[in-house]
Structures are given as structure tokens and as C-alpha cells.
Structure 1
């Protein structure tokens, strides 16, 4: 009788442990989805801020046209090309804004430029959070027990979002919100 009770206790504890692992995997996958939604929103916010800056005449007319074109492509990019298009927008932003003074610009243009810089930093943070969530989920799914018992169910293995997300440097001499 004691052996049966001991075996039953082991089975119950094993069931609780497996349930905990499956729930943890579910939470990790939910975290990846939430982080992706935040990254997607940050990317769209950056594209909108860049389009707004370009519509105002941007740093100069040639840069404004380039930024508008690249930001427009980023807004419409499909899943397969998104990383490349967003990286191209980061490069275009650095080419147009990186450390350039804004002396001749009006207050409206300065505010739009600072909004672009904030949005670019937000993209960096959102991408870091997303890739951390993906890393944690992939690490949990590598466990032999998880693979053997298929605790992840039919959930797809999440992918990292790799892009050039380095934000342009703020203008020299400006210590406002752009350098925070």
C-alpha cells in the first residue's frame, strides 16, 4: 500500500511539474507576442515621425525626399522584407540627421526631429525586449523534456528581429530631450 501511495504521489508531483512547464512555455510565447506588438508599434511610430519630419521639409529638401520614400516603404513592408527595409530607414536617418546642427531650423522642425530621435530610441528598446523574449522562449524549448513530451504544443518557434536599429546622434549643443 505504501508503494502505491508513493508512486501515486510521484505521478501527481510529476503532473504538477509538467503542467507548470507547459504554462511557463505558454506565458513565454505570450510574452513574445506582446513584445512583437510593442516592436511593431514602435516601428510604425518611427515611420510616422519620419514622414512628419519629411513633410515639414526635414533637414533639407533632398534628405526629406529620401526619408519620405524610405519611411513610406517601411510603413508598407511585408513580413519577409521588414528587417531590411527598417534597417534602410535607420541608415537613412543617420545619413540625414546624425549629429547635424539644427541652427537654421524652426522650433517646429526641431520638435519633429526630437520626436524622430525619441521614436528611434524606442525602436531600439522594443527590439531588445523582443529579442530577449525570443531568447528566453527558445532556451525553454531546448529542454529535452519539453521536446520529448511536446509541451510547446503546435506553437511556432519564435524568430529574432534583426535590424540596424542604431539611432542618429543628437545635434551638438542640444541638451534637451534629444540627448536623454
Structure 2
């Protein structure tokens, strides 16, 4: 009878260990996906900023609009991580405030804006999934997240 009890306890511990290991691996993969999504968003924001800078310097807009776009694009590119969301939101507002419907640039700028929207949504979806998993009791009690910081969503005006 004792051997069956020990066997049952061993099986339960083995199953628990397998589940904890699977959860830790899933959490690690989600953290990696957050990093990749963040890098993708950074790339799209840089691409949009460069495109707006090119449009502002092209001479196709009035001087005030060009100056506004160039300043907003420069501030977005050189912003510290703490003020990055504010600067990118200001760039979005500057794009909408100026007449950027210049024919060779319209389609490219709209595509860049859409790609930023999609990259931000993708990033935030992965962050929400990661945070939900990290809030589970098993993860917090056994510290399966290790020392990884809690990921945060990116909240900026992106035209959506």
C-alpha cells in the first residue's frame, strides 16, 4: 500500500514539474516575442520618422509645414526612452495637422502609418498575453519568470 502511495506522489510531482517546466518555457518564449515585437515597432517608428523627415525636407510642402514635420521627426528620433511615446504621438499629430497629401508621398506615408499601427497592436497583444501568464499563481509562487522585467504596453497616438 505504501509503495502505491509513493508511486502516486511521484507521478503527481513529475506531472507538476513537467507543467511548471512547460509554463516556464512558454513564458520565456513570450518574453522573447515581446523583445522581437518591440524591435519591430522601433524599426517601423524609425522608418516613419525618416520618411516624414524626407517629406519635410523635399520642398513640396509650405515652409511652416516642413518645419513642423522636420522638428517633430527629429524630436521623435532623438527622444530618450522615457519621452519616446510622447514624441511619437507628437509626430503623429504633426502629420495629421499638416497637409501631407502630396501625391508621390501619400501612399508611402499611409503605408508607414499603417505599419506602425500594426506593429504597436502586435506588440501590445503579446505584452497582454505575457502579463496574463505572469499573473498566474504558479508563475509568481515559483518565480518562473526569473528576473525578467514585467513588459509594458506602448501607448501612443498612431492614427488608429
Instruction: Determine if the TM-score, normalized by the shorter chain, exceeds 0.5.
Output: yes
The alpha-carbon deviation at position 51 of structure 1 amounts to 0.6
**Of 139-148 and 54-63, the range deviating more from structure 2:** 54-63
d(CA) in 2 for partners of 1:19, 1:142: 17
Q: Does the CA contact (< 8 Å) of 1:52 and 1:112 recur in 2?
A: no
Corresponding residue pairs, total: 158
CA distance in 2 between partners of 1:65 and 1:140 (Å) = 46
Note the residue ranges of structure 2 that are not aligned, 5 or more in a row: none
Q: Is it true that 1:76 corresponds to 2:78 in the alignment?
A: yes
Normalized per residue, the structure richer in helix is 2
For residues 18-167 of structure 1, the aligned pairs below 5 Å read 18-97=20-99, 100=101, 102=102, 110-166=103-159
Alignment partners' CA distance in 2, 1:15 and 1:57: 64
Task: Assess if the C-alpha contact under 8 Å between 1:46 and 1:116 holds in 2.
Answer: yes
Could you state the TM-score of these two structures normalised by the residue count of structure 1?
0.84
Deviation at 1:6, TM superposition (A): 1.4
Distance 1:112 1:29 in 2: 36
What runs of 5+ residues in structure 1 fail to find an aligned partner?
A: 103-109, 168-180
Cα shift at 1:114: 2.1
Normalised by the size of structure 2, how large is the TM-score? 0.94
Q: Post-superposition shift, 1:119?
A: 0.6
- Note the C-alpha offset of 1:84: 0.3
